[in-house]
Amino acid sequence: FEHHLLLKMAGPGVAEAEQYLKSYFAQAEGDFFVCTPEEGKKAFLHRFAAAGAAVRYHAVHADQVEDILALDIALRRNDTEWFETLPPEIDNQLVHKLYYGHFMCHVFHQDYVVKKGADSHALKEQMLAILNQRGAEYPA
């Protein structure tokens, strides 16, 4: 799947969430499953793998990567556009874009793997201008 959501829950809301997810995914693309306690512990370790992915990519592909541009942003409370659409002059300077965040609070960690030879400082200024237009706050 393109997106993964990890919910850590306890109490009476668990049954309600499970019923909602069953109903939702009966009609929508995707799926869910309830982890055992051990699976849950292991699943939450993926947060650390995701957080280090850009740095690891840079280390392995140093000949293709100039830098990592890491931005921690907070979108507006009711913002439904979580992913930006970058103009080609910015997107063409990137090898990869990695997004991960905190569900329900609109805080996102956005790591951009910058192509070799690109000016990462100028790129950051362009990115911050886009975030300003979107009404985002940074650092989150």
Look up residue 27 and give its amino acid.
Answer: Q
Closest CA to 94 of 113, 80, 77: 113
Q: Domain 63-134 is in which class?
A: alpha beta
Do residues 120 and 69 touch, judged by C-beta distance below 8 A? yes
Q: What is the pLDDT along the chain (140 residues), one digit of tens a residue?
A: 788 888 999 898 999 999 999 999 999 999 999 999 999 999 989 888 888 899 999 999 999 999 999 999 999 988 888 888 999 999 999 999 999 888 778 899 999 999 999 999 999 999 999 999 999 999 98
Domain boundaries, given as residue ranges, for the chain: 13-43, 63-134
**pTM for the model:** 0.82
Minimal CA–CA distance to 113: which of 43, 76, 66, 73? 66
- Write down the residue that tokens 């907070």 correspond to: 74
Residue 57 phi/psi, 5-degree rounding, is -60, -45
